[in-house]
Structure 1
Amino acid sequence: MHLVAGIVVARSGKTVLCSILVVLVLACTLDRDAGIAAEHTTEPPQPAAKVEIIYLGKSYNEPEHLSLIDKVLTDEGVEGARLGISDNNRTGSFLGQKYVLAEDIVPADSDVVAKAKQVLAQGPAIIVADLKAADLLAVAGLPEAKNAILLNIRSSDKSLRQEDCRANVFHIIPDWAMRADALAQYLIWKKWSRWFLLEGTKASDKEYVAAVERAANRFGGTIVEERPYKFETGAARSDTGYQQVQTQMPQATQGAGSYDVVWVADTDQSFGEYVPYRTYDPKPVVGTQGLIAVAWHPSYEQYAGMQLHDAFEQFAKRDMTERDYTAWLAVRAIGESATRSGKADVNDLRNYMLSDAFTVAGDKGEGMNFRKWDHQLRQPILVAGPRDVVSISPQQGFLHPKYLTDTLGYDQPESKCKFR
């Protein structure tokens, strides 16, 4: 007897023992039994961990733009949040996470606090807050909001980071102090250290003026004069008149002495757009108009900025504004926290966001994180003209022992924040 191709053959030729058939039958039986066992032991796939983000806003009566180039947007901010959700889900689909955006934007005459109570009735929530300072404080002060995460994407109000700071509020948008410091550093680097300050009359203008005064003291600038300016028109677009503006602006800026730049403080777009090219002395204009300090600018293209803008333009069919950017970044901060921590609970996400391990990429060349003393997001600030980014602050030579971005705004020793 000899073995041929796995079949045992008897020399007599009368008996062929097909032992391979027996082996195959045994193998199939074992496979079938293993398959039956697997059907009973394999766990069903786990549902994706859901991370719900609430976009809470109010349709405020916005000031009319002085320029027809600036279009009236009805979806500013929320489009950035939508893109952020899309980006989060791109990563979350591989990690068993699903991000959902719920949009609650109330009319101008409605009570946003009542809407917030409805949202928070379900328990601690993650809220992207597109709210002015007073409304943000009212929502943050609700007992139901104590364990929530509120991400401020609109208000640059200093008090929200100082005397009126809240433990449940995280600030994505830079405050007036960060903006003034970013511009001041660039002006000092340029050796344009003498500033003529032309200021509006609104409360936010006064706050920005105080930030400019602080920046001058910090970095060695000199304010040669502070001059209030009040410009009243019946209708911002139709009643200005080029001749009227051309006559008024030289008069308003005449006799300021020797200075390097006109620093405009017009946070509500009342007159600032009329200042460049119309001053009595031929000087650059900086501040809230002219050369500005912002978290985002449509012309920014470094560190994947161009890719972000292109993605937003394809998504929203328009340019990305600063509020679109801060809304996108707020949603991305939550996504980054959930991805790195592997958690979806609000308390877990808050703890991770305040840990040393947290950073979020905002396409500005460095990871961003939150200051523990006031919950302001550290970030580089773009110094930009109307059509191009001129520089990025902090500027070279302005040093800090830990974070260079802490040269912008209130550092820990200066902070008056006592969380409530």
Structure 2
Amino acid sequence: MLLRLALALCLGTSAAVADVSVTIHYLRQEVEQPPVLSNLDPIPEDLGLKGAELGLADNATTGRFMGQTWALEVTEVPIGGDLAAAARAALATTDLIVLDAPADAALAMADLPEAAGALIFNSAAPDDRLRGADCRANLLHTLPSNAMRTDALAQFLLNRRWNDLAMITGTHPDDIAFAESLRASLAKFGMRLTAEKTWAFDADMRRNASQEVPLFTQDLKAHDVLLIADEIHDFGRYIAYNTWIPRPVAGSEGLVPVAWAQVVEQWGAAQLQSRFTDVAARPMQSRDYAAWAAVRAVGEAVTRTGAADTATLRAYLLGPDFELAGFKGRPLSFRDWNGQLRQPIPLVTQRAVVAQAPLEGFLHQVNELDTLGRDAPESDCSAFQK
């Protein structure tokens, strides 16, 4: 008991040490992956899940001293399966859900009557509308929004004074959404697109890139950087070094804004990477990090409040005292106007971190992390209004 009380004091919590049992349900909707030109980067079957498992192990480490018992339930809904039925079954056992599903599925679950008092953590859908007009009071977001990622890239480009940009966009809905976010970020920071083109080739670029890409990019107007909106990672890998005019590539390829990448090493990140590799036998990716952050956020809230009911946890998570050590050099916290987890965005290449946003000089009256994504005055989310 003395050890428990000492640790509670070290953690800075005023809550009395008491036995608390917490169950989190990881719910995943499998989706059909679009065909791509290369299979060099297969999507891990356990993407996201391993992050949740590591987060639970971290919670359990603290929980042993705090009288906490942690459990993780997992449901994977096959393609075409009944997510609503799986969600109801999950909600029958716990109100704490980490959800790996597309935006429409996330909204459908959040709108279930059984989910009215739940806390659902979106760890997979970057859609800006989930943090905007389509926000839900019971839906928090640990994966960065598209706007956060594209704002991070725009800050870097502006910092380098690369103000004139061209863009190539794929035809998949994820590509189109990312391109829309890029346009908004460039306008926000006073840059412009000099030219845009849509990539609709079905040729085998593995053989023809050196012939096709120069011709495709020949008519692009003068630009400093070529932006690529290829979120399904289909054609973008063949653009660099094959363009008519030699220019840096950024966006979905080249210099990429991410929630997490294996090249992130500072602020204790190497230790997190190592622990994740022990669990998953592969590097941590952005959706793994988002699932880990969701589970750890619950763990931090339970430890600080000494409670496990969702009303208490939600109030604390959205309040001014919540902070999560996220191995990114700054404490992470939730925006109380749309439920998005504030976090720095690393800008990475395949081999290194080039920068981390927000960059120096991009100031905010409250929190510089709010220079990334929709700030409170810009938000059209009404579900979180007090």
TM bucket (normalised to shorter chain) is: over 0.9
Structure 1 match to 2:31 = 60
Question: Match of 1:128, SS?
Answer: strand
**Distance apart, 1:64 and its partner CA:** 4.8
Which of 330, 338, 362 is the equivalent residue of 1:398?
362
Aligned equivalents of 1:405, 1:242: Cα separation in 2 = 40
Question: Match of 1:369, SS?
Answer: strand
Q: Deviations over 1:179-198 (max 9, x none)?
A: 11000100111111110011
Q: Deviations over 1:344-403 (max 9, x none)?
A: 112211111111111111101111111111111110000001121111001111110001
Q: Which protein has the larger Cα radius of gyration, Structure 1 or Structure 2?
A: 1
Q: Is the 8 A contact 1:51 1:344 kept in 2?
A: yes
Aligned equivalents of 2:131, 2:101: Cα separation in 1 = 15
Structure 2 match to 1:81 = 52
Question: TM-score, structure 2 length as denominator?
Answer: 0.92
Asked if residue 222 in structure 1 is aligned to residue 192 in structure 2, the reply is: yes
Asked if residue 127 in structure 1 is aligned to residue 91 in structure 2, the reply is: no
Q: Deviations over 1:48-75 (max 9, x none)?
A: 3111000000222223565454234111
Structure 2 match to 1:320 = 284
Amino acid in the other structure paired with 1:161: R
Which of 89, 96, 102 is the equivalent residue of 2:73?
102
Structure 2 match to 1:280 = 244
Q: Deviations over 1:286-328 (max 9, x none)?
A: 0111111001010110000100001111121111111111111
Aligned equivalents of 1:183, 1:120: Cα separation in 2 = 38
Structure 1 residues 242 and 317, CA gap change in structure 2 (3 angstroms): closer
Q: Deviations over 1:126-150 (max 9, x none)?
A: 0000011111111001011011000
Aligned equivalents of 1:410, 1:72: Cα separation in 2 = 29
* Structure 1 range deviating more: 405-414 or 46-55: 46-55
Aligned equivalents of 1:47, 1:108: Cα separation in 2 = 42
Q: Deviations over 1:66-102 (max 9, x none)?
A: 5454234111110110011000000010000011100
Aligned equivalents of 1:289, 1:179: Cα separation in 2 = 13
Structure 1 residues 356 and 241, CA gap change in structure 2 (3 angstroms): closer
Which of structure 1's runs of 4+ aligned residues deviate more than 6 A?
Answer: none
Amino acid in the other structure paired with 1:208: F
Unmatched 5+ stretches in structure 2: 1-16
Question: Match of 1:54, SS?
Answer: strand
Q: Which residues in structure 2 correspond to 1:293-332 (within 5 Å)? A: 293-332=257-296
Amino acid in the other structure paired with 2:369: T
Asked if residue 212 in structure 1 is aligned to residue 182 in structure 2, the reply is: yes
**Distance apart, 1:206 and its partner CA:** 2.4
Aligned equivalents of 2:277, 2:196: Cα separation in 1 = 40
Structure 2 match to 1:346 = 310
Amino acid in the other structure paired with 1:196: A
Structure 1 residues 84 and 56, CA gap change in structure 2 (3 angstroms): same
Structure 1 residues 64 and 317, CA gap change in structure 2 (3 angstroms): farther
Amino acid in the other structure paired with 1:202: H
Asked if residue 417 in structure 1 is aligned to residue 376 in structure 2, the reply is: no
Unmatched 5+ stretches in structure 1: 1-45, 234-239
**Distance apart, 1:205 and its partner CA:** 2.2
Question: TM-score, structure 1 length as denominator?
Answer: 0.85
Structure number with greater CO (CA < 8 Å, separation at least 6) is 2
Structure 2 match to 1:39 = none
Structure 2 match to 1:196 = 166
Structure 2 match to 1:167 = 137
* Structure 1 range deviating more: 269-278 or 337-346: 269-278
Structure 2 match to 1:91 = 62
Amino acid in the other structure paired with 2:105: D
Aligned equivalents of 1:242, 1:352: Cα separation in 2 = 51
Aligned equivalents of 1:390, 1:68: Cα separation in 2 = 26
**Distance apart, 1:214 and its partner CA:** 1.5
Aligned alpha-carbon RMSD (Å)? 1.6
Identity of aligned residues (%): 40
* Structure 1 range deviating more: 53-62 or 196-205: 196-205
Aligned residues: 368
Q: Is the 8 A contact 2:206 2:238 kept in 1?
A: no
